[in-house]
Amino acid sequence: MTPPAATRIGPRGDATSQGRVTAVRGPVLDIAFEGQKPDLREAVLIHADDGQIVTEVQAHLDDRTVRVIAMRPTQGIWRGAAAERTGKPIMAPVGDGILGRLVNMMGQPADNGAAFPAGTPLRPIHRDAPPMSRQSAATEIFATGIKVIDLLAPLAQGGKAAMFGGAGVGKTVLVMELIHAMVAGYNGISVFAGVGERCREGHEMLNEMKASGVLDQTVLVYGQMNEPPGARWRVPLTAMTIAEYFRDEEARNVLLLMDNVYRFVQAGAEVSGLLGRKPSRVGYQPTLETEVADLQERIASVGKASVTAIEAVYVPADDFTDPAVGAISSHVDSMVVLSRQLAAEGIYPAIDPISTTSVLLDPLVVGQEHADIAGRVREAIEHYIELKDVIALLGVEELGTGERLSVGRARRLQRFLTQPFFVASAFSGMEGRSVPIKDTIAGCRAILEGECDDWEESALYMVGTLDEARQKQAAMHHAPQKAEKVGA
């Protein structure tokens, strides 16, 4: 299928730009040129039976031959097929004309909507990060309404936050809840990058955006699981290019959401193997750190406008020492870690309060009270985790009075930091809750100071504020008395 006019990458049209395909190995092709060979990262068009296929130059093999990676399946390409230089990188459409649309990695509409108008501006997907002299520090807190995140890993406007977790612990649900929480009170642009997403997840996200009425201020960029690795590898760059346009040329704040950054690394590893590079540690590409940095360092605040990134990161086999996880975590301000053990215990969101950190949890940024309460909460839960083995072997009765009290408070804190999500209400049967940070701090302080020592733990489970838990406790306390009266 030929790309629509606004997103077409045009050939240069002169005789020296012509080439021929000399080898086809799945999505990797070798092309020999008569004249000057194209630059690295330049887009090259190949003429196939069903239209043009866009490729990107990855290596110079000799004076005439380059190795390229295709951005769509290469069926219908043969040795000897005609190829043409474009003289520029892959270009993505940007601007107000693409708001409310779902596009693929090339910026072509993927939502059965109309083609973009001819005047839609185009920008190259490869771009240097803004220089340090132009960047502004991110210190303004981005309230989410999710208690455990706002308390222990506050997010910054213009910062980078990542949700790390293994398969099935709730990363995508958490990202969707953050979208729901932020877009409701957020007047900027949202750009969602679905990297290696399932088709089902794309439909769910599109319907969620339509239902919440925020699609007209959102761009969805998808590279699905069944697409070649080159397309999946470049999806975040297309999304980043769109976000940069709104930040730099329209001075608007942008919320950039990526699910899942690990699949970006995975696609890069596939490309690296196909290009014949020797693998590095644990089989990853030798260019892992550079590829992650090229993407992450473009996420920044410039002037009065910012790009705020929230990323889901799959942790293979729950191994947080994995090189890909380490490469990504070194770039983020707030690191939210999801725990399989907490999910098994029914603690949702299953966020590990010990491993979850943020550089913004500083008295100079969040205030002394917030920093103190967060430290005390983490200390109480950590002490409880240390005593878990003793409790499992001997029972809580063998602990001293002071330790029993601290264990009870830590368990109540764990339950208070749970809350029902809006996006999961259809499954949980509970309406979602959004909690202001001052209420979260007040509730944690009350539990730490012993105000809830005689409460049932279940009264604090899956509630919003402490007042809601107080009402739940009162209802539980009066329920047996009512039952006795009925029996009498």
Q: Which of 197, 227, 270, 291 is the catalytic position?
A: 197
Report CA dihedral (84, 87, 93, 95) to the nearest 10 degrees: -160
Q: Which of 171, 234, 263, 378 is the catalytic position?
A: 171
For 73-170, where are the alpha helices, taking DSSP H only? 147-152
For residue 110, give both structure tokens.
């993927």
Cβ partners under 8 Å of residue 447, min gap 6 = 409, 412, 413, 416, 460, 466
Q: How far is CA 4 from CA 70, 99, 236, in A?
A: 18, 17, 21
DSSP 304-327: TEEEEEEEEEE-GGG-TT-HHHHH
Contact between residue 242 and residue 98 where contact means Cβ atoms under 8 Å apart: yes
Closest-CA residue to 269 (of 260, 281, 257): 281
What's the chain's Rg over C-alpha atoms?
26
In DSSP terms, 19 is beta-bridged to: 33, 83
Give the integer Cα–Cα distance in Å for 444 and 465.
10
99: number of CA atoms within 13 Å, CB side?
A: 16
Give the integer Cα–Cα distance in Å for 139 and 149.
16
Q: Which of 134, 198, 304, 482 is the catalytic position?
A: 198
Three-state secondary-structure class, residue 198: coil
Residues in the chain: 488
For 6, which DSSP code?
G
Residue with tokens 């590409």: 285
Q: How far is CA 425 from CA 149, 185, 309, 369, 429, in A?
A: 19, 20, 25, 33, 5
Contact between residue 263 and residue 257 where contact means Cβ atoms under 8 Å apart: no
Burial status of residue 368 (CB atoms within 10 A of its CB: 0-12, 13-18, 19 or more): exposed
Contact between residue 31 and residue 19 where contact means Cβ atoms under 8 Å apart: yes
Q: Is 247 among the catalytic positions?
A: no
Q: Is 171 among the catalytic positions?
A: yes
Q: How far is CA 153 from CA 44, 300, 350, 363, in A?
A: 44, 19, 14, 13
Residues marked as catalytic: 171, 197-198
